Structure 1
C-alpha cells in the first residue's frame, strides 16, 4: 500500500475556503460544543522555549494533539512556533504553524498543511464566539489593542456577531498597522484609530487585547464601563481587572490554571480564585452553565485549543480533495519493516 498524503501550502489552504469567516465561526462553535459533550480529546499543549541572553524567550515551540469524534472522526496535531526575531525583522511571520491530519484507524497521515492562517482565523473566531455568548446584546463600542494578524481576524469576526456594533477603537504601538486595518475595513467596520491604550478602551462596552506584551498595561480604572474583557495574550490586563470581575470565563481551565504566565496566577496563589469560580466557555455554549446575567462584568481568557485548528483543518482537507487542490506526497513506496 502506497499511502497518499495531501500537501497544502498556504495558497492552497486559502483557495480551499479558509477566508469564509462565517463558516469558521460555525466550526469553532461546533468544536466547543463537541468538547463539552465529550466527543473531543484535547490534552494540554506542550511547549519548549528558547531564551535569549536577557532571560526572556526568543522562540518557542508547541505541540497540540487532538482527536475529534462524532461526524468528524479525525486525529491531528498542530505544531505551532513563534519567533521574536521574525517579529523584529518583519521578514517572516512571527508565528509559523503546521497541521498534520491522520486517519484515526490506520494512523496514516492524510494531510500536511500550513496552519499559520488557520490559527489566525480560528483565534479571531474564538474571541467572537466568546463575545456572542458573553457580551451585552446592546454592545456598541469595542476597544481593541493590537493591530496584527489576530487583531485583523478578531475585528472581522466581531463584526459578524455583535449586531449592535457601531465603532471599533483601535490602538497599536505601530500606528502603521492600525492605519492598514483602517483602510482594509473601510466601508465594512467603523474603525477609529486611538492614540493610546487608555483612549482605545475607555468607554468601550467590550475590550479585547491581542498583543505579545510581556507585562500588563491595561489599568482597571480605564475599563470601568466595559462589561466584557477578552484577553488573548498572557500579560495584558493588570491583576485588579480579573480580580474585580463578577465572573471569570475561559476556553479551557486546566491548561490556564497551571500556566505559570497566566494573569490568574497571583489570584490562584492567594486563594482568591478557585476552580468553582471559573466557567468554561464550552459549558455555556452547551447550556451546562448559564450565560451572561444582567450587567455583570465578565473577564474571558483564552489560551487556545487545538481542537479548533483541527476542526477547521479537516474541513480544508476535505474541501481541497473535492476541488483537486494540493500536491500528493508519499510516505513510502513500500514499508520496509511491517
Structure 2
C-alpha cells in the first residue's frame, strides 16, 4: 500500500524482534544522535511524568526532534503494579515517528527492544570516552536485560578489553550473559566473581546494571586509580559519585530527577563536570589525567530512542514488515 496521510504502519514486538542489526550499527546510530544534539540540530525537551499518590503506577511522555534524520517522535512509557511483584506488573512503551520533510507518519512501534539496545550502547560510549587509555578489565554487575548485553557492547567500543568479569547471583541470568557474549563474540569468555570488592579493585571499567533489590554496592575506596564506574541501574554506592574526581552524565537534569538514591545525607548531588553529548562532539575531554576516578550516570535521552527507532523503521520498511492501519480515515 502506498503511504499517505491516513495510514500508520504499526511495528509489533515480533516485527522488531526479527530485525537483524549489528551492535556497531546501534552504537553508530546512538552516537550520531548525541552529535546532532550537541550541534544544536535536535530538540530533547524534559520528559513529563505522572504518578498517583499511592505510587502503584508511573507514566512518562517524551517529545523530541532529530534534525539530521528530519523526524519528530513521541515516546510514551507506562508501568502498572509497582506495588506488586514483577510477575504482576504491566509495562508498555511505544514510539511514534513522523517524517518532518514529507509531513507523513513513518511508524508506531513497540519501544522495548529499542530501549534494551540503546541503554547498553550508551554505557559502551561512556566507557569508550571515559576509560583510561590502558583499560583492560571490565566488570558488569547484574544479569538482567542490561547486564546481558553490557559486555558485547563494551567489546564493540573497547575491543582491547582482555578480562571480562561478571557479578551476579541468578543462574539463569548468568547463563543468559554467557549466551549473549558467545553469540556476538564466540572467542571470548566471562569470569563469574564471588568477591565483588576484589573484582572492583581489579576493574578499569565497571558497569552497574543490577536491580533495585541488589545487595551489591561498590564503594569509592574499592576503585583503583583511573577506574570508570558507570551507573545504569544499581550496584554502586553513593560514595563512588561523591568521591569521584570527575562526574559525567548523559544529562545532568535527568540525573537530578532519577538519581536521588545517590544523594548524600543532606539530599544533595554533586555538580556534573560534563555531559556526554559535549564529549562525543569532541569539544571537551572527560578526564584530564589517567589516574582520575570517573563516575558516569547513564540516563536515556529521547533523541537516542528516536534515532534508533527510525533506524529500525528503515530496516522494517525494506522488509515489508508491519501492519498498515487506516487510522485517520
Please say whether Structure 1 and Structure 2 have the same fold, judged by a TM-score greater than 0.5. Answer: yes
* Distance (whole Å) between structure 1 residues aligned to residue 303 and residue 165 of structure 2: 31
Task: Determine the structure 2 residue equivalent to 1:13.
Answer: 16
Task: Determine the structure 1 residue equivalent to 2:43.
Answer: 41
Displacement of 1:51 in angstroms is: 6.9
Distance 1:50 1:130, change over 3 A: same
* Distance (whole Å) between structure 2 residues aligned to residue 259 and residue 198 of structure 1: 26
Secondary structure of residue in 1 paired with 2:51: strand
Secondary structure of residue in 1 paired with 2:260: coil
TM (normalized to structure 1)?
0.85
* Distance (whole Å) between structure 2 residues aligned to residue 170 and residue 95 of structure 1: 28
Displacement of 1:141 in angstroms is: 1.2
* Distance (whole Å) between structure 2 residues aligned to residue 284 and residue 173 of structure 1: 35
Task: Determine the structure 2 residue equivalent to 1:313.
Answer: 309
* Distance (whole Å) between structure 2 residues aligned to residue 324 and residue 205 of structure 1: 44
Displacement of 1:209 in angstroms is: 0.5
Say what the alpha-carbon RMSD is for the aligned residues.
2.8
Correspondence 1:27 to 2:26: no
Contact 1:246–1:297 (CA<8 Å) still a contact in 2? yes
Task: Determine the structure 1 residue equivalent to 2:201.
Answer: 202
* Distance (whole Å) between structure 2 residues aligned to residue 11 and residue 79 of structure 1: 19
Gaps of 5+ in 1: 334-338
Contact 2:225–2:292 (CA<8 Å) still a contact in 1? no
Displacement of 1:245 in angstroms is: 1.1
Contact 1:247–1:297 (CA<8 Å) still a contact in 2? yes
Gaps of 5+ in 2: none
Q: Structure 1 residues 144-153 or 205-214, which shifts more?
A: 205-214
* Distance (whole Å) between structure 2 residues aligned to residue 159 and residue 87 of structure 1: 36
Contact 1:248–1:278 (CA<8 Å) still a contact in 2? yes
Correspondences of 1:1-338 after superposition (within 5 Å): 3-17=6-20, 19-50=21-52, 57-70=55-68, 72-82=69-79, 88-90=85-87, 96-104=92-100, 109-186=105-182, 187-213=186-212, 217-225=217-225, 227-233=227-233, 236-259=235-258, 261=260, 263=262, 265-266=263-264, 273-274=270-271, 277-293=272-288, 294-333=290-329
* Distance (whole Å) between structure 2 residues aligned to residue 133 and residue 16 of structure 1: 29
